[in-house]
Structure 1
């Protein structure tokens, strides 16, 4: 149904952007929706049973093969269709791998009773996620419609690298944590899981975001050349937005694990209403103002997501701020250290390498000196993993 709607609306969307060429591109790209629906239950099965190795192989295989295909088509002069082919082939390979590796397979059966039970909980989450998706695309839509395509490109490119880090770390941790939260026996256990997730994700992501703010100039110029220099300011601003995501995600997962999908929907409606008002105010001031509104909105959303968990599991704003403060403090100090290196005259490649190395060393050193809990937790996990590997090798030799 959604595909049919997009197919029909494609000419009107193209007219909105004054670009006739996207009609066919949109109609072909939208086929992803149909394909993706096939693997939805397999993804849920993998997440519930925590067999994430299957996720890894499906994602890795699809990414590598589709990436090679996209590059080859781009060099062959396929233009935008190289991106379309890469996008769709990634989805198709993901589906094929999951159908082969996951023991559950769909059957041509339907139960209205089961559908009702799922819908009572699920429809609220669907609408909450839909609101979130529409809002996330709204800024790009406004920039693309009200300003130049170049402004949109700079904005999206500045957003791309921090978004990639968040997607690969925060989403991965959240996917693993949610099934564990759902099985928590009581509120205290759920709070402990939430605290561990909060501390770990903030410990890993805060230094990455602050580091990206500091090294954004040499990073973008070296990776994308000087013609993308205008995207530096957007990366720096939007890193502040993405810093709030670990806190937002953990609180969202807690509410969802308790079964309060109604509360998830209410929170999204409140947050996105505020966000839309901020976007429309900012659009009159320019593209940079829109980026700043996104960063400010991230902090507002963070506190809105935190508020219910004081009542639900006694995890207050004060408690959460205390949990993330050690990682935030260490990350800021690390940022100041690597920022000072930029005043030394040296080739840009060497500058970036030194900043990254010094940043990693200084962050680990502060973690050790101040005995940051997440640092010791990660070390213990790595040590346990090492012992398991050594034990497995020893058993194989026997």
Structure 2
């Protein structure tokens, strides 16, 4: 199977997985948030940073190292990393279990002791699946991952909704997350059909640690900075404010991850497979930038334009203070998927050292902006994230610009038509209003925005859009005449 066919097949299944799972999960958590309210939702948000910090060491460390080493991966490598991750998971859970009282004291919320000790069990569950998931990803097997995630999402959502309807309050969300992790882990192991051997190779550990450690540190720094906003909101404000900020961040982040992980999850193993062919690698890289901007800009800008209608319909008027924060975070996330691509290509060519340098260089800027914005409340924090996101984009594009002669300015030139079309779309859609009907206003805005965006790109004769439309039409025509 050609790389193009592998990419299309992988993208299709990855997209299906995101649509049925990530977006489905958002829908369920929104429903539960509406039932339990901002304050209870905020309690879970306070623990987000601790969960994500540990998860980042799994996802950005040895997992990426295994995928990057796909052609030379041995049984010794896989088994060694399985035991390393398991040990790391046990150590991290133990640390968080015994520090739970300090976490609760930091937020002045005693109830967090019990919540955190139960919720952090997810760390142990996910530690078991790192190698199995990496093996499926190396084989570009997103079909199996999609099925496992779908089953997990469906069953956990049913249980979570049942608990929420029966007044289990924040525990409904806690058990939804735990059950989802358990079922997904079982599914991944079932499809992977791999079992670790009783092997531990120090040579494999050192080799993979050399690459993975840089990504692990970089992942920790990035996760810490990105989620420190929520932690400080919880420290300096109250649980309700955390609930508003967490909900806005969840909605914008899940949309960002939906785009980034769908495209990059497929292209990263492909880029690693052609890392020695610089011409093909750069070709994939530039096309990925184009398709990401084509898709991400209208989704984020469009979501910002319909945010008030969405919040009032999905969450209720109780959650209206989340709207201005959500609008700002949508603007901040417009550039995030491209920033991720720029860092992703450094991993693909084995330059995790540069990945680490970039993330460390952004730390002072992000921390400075955060502390300057605190006196201005959660809206101030959100707009601080807008500023740092755009500065971070140019920092992330610096090394790819040096290595492949395709830096930040060149990338924006590729995307300038999408930027113009998205800006005009936002200006026009924001003016649409149909009195006495939130649903009709929302649907009208979405359809009108889509028409405006595509029409403007066709008027501007966007080469990438026209080329892929012709490709899809030709494929459909070929199948029709067979």
TM-score by length of 2: 0.78
Q: In the comparison of the two structures, how many residue pairs are matched?
A: 391
Distance 1:267 1:41 in 2: 27
Alpha carbons of structure 1 residues 225 and 133: separation in structure 2 relative to 1, 3 Å:
same
Residue 230 of structure 2 corresponds to 140
Asked if the contact 1:181–1:190 (Cα under 8 Å) also holds between the matched residues in 2, the reply is yes
CA deviation digits over 1:317-346, x for unaligned, max 9? 22111111111111111112212223x545
Q: Unaligned 5+ residue runs, structure 2?
A: 1-90
Larger mean CA deviation between 142-151 and 380-389 belongs to 380-389
Residue 240 of structure 1 corresponds to 331
Distance 1:79 1:288 in 2: 27
Residue 81 of structure 2 corresponds to none
Residue 68 of structure 1 corresponds to 158
Higher relative contact order (CA 8 A, sep 6+): 2
Residue 172 of structure 2 corresponds to 82
CA RMSD of aligned residues (A): 1.8
Displacement of 1:274: 1.2
Q: Which residue, 325, 329, 346 being the options, matches 2:420?
A: 329
Residue 98 of structure 1 corresponds to 188
Distance 1:388 1:101 in 2: 33
Q: Unaligned 5+ residue runs, structure 1?
A: none
Displacement of 1:390: 6.1
Asked if the contact 2:259–2:337 (Cα under 8 Å) also holds between the matched residues in 1, the reply is no
Displacement of 1:381: 5.3
CA deviation digits over 1:179-205, x for unaligned, max 9? 121122333322211111111111111
Asked if the contact 1:190–1:313 (Cα under 8 Å) also holds between the matched residues in 2, the reply is no
Alpha carbons of structure 1 residues 389 and 82: separation in structure 2 relative to 1, 3 Å:
farther
Distance 1:127 1:381 in 2: 41
Q: Check if 1:265 corresponds to 2:356.
A: yes
Residue 314 of structure 2 corresponds to 223
Displacement of 1:31: 1.1
Larger mean CA deviation between 295-304 and 281-290 belongs to 281-290
Q: Which residue, 73, 76, 98 being the options, matches 1:8?
A: 98
TM-score by length of 1: 0.94
Residue 388 of structure 2 corresponds to 297
Distance 1:186 1:163 in 2: 33
Distance 1:388 1:33 in 2: 48
Superposed, 1:1-398 pairs within 5 Å as 1-184=91-274, 185-342=276-433, 345=435, 347-380=437-470, 382-383=472-473, 386=476
Q: Secondary structure at the match of 2:200?
A: coil
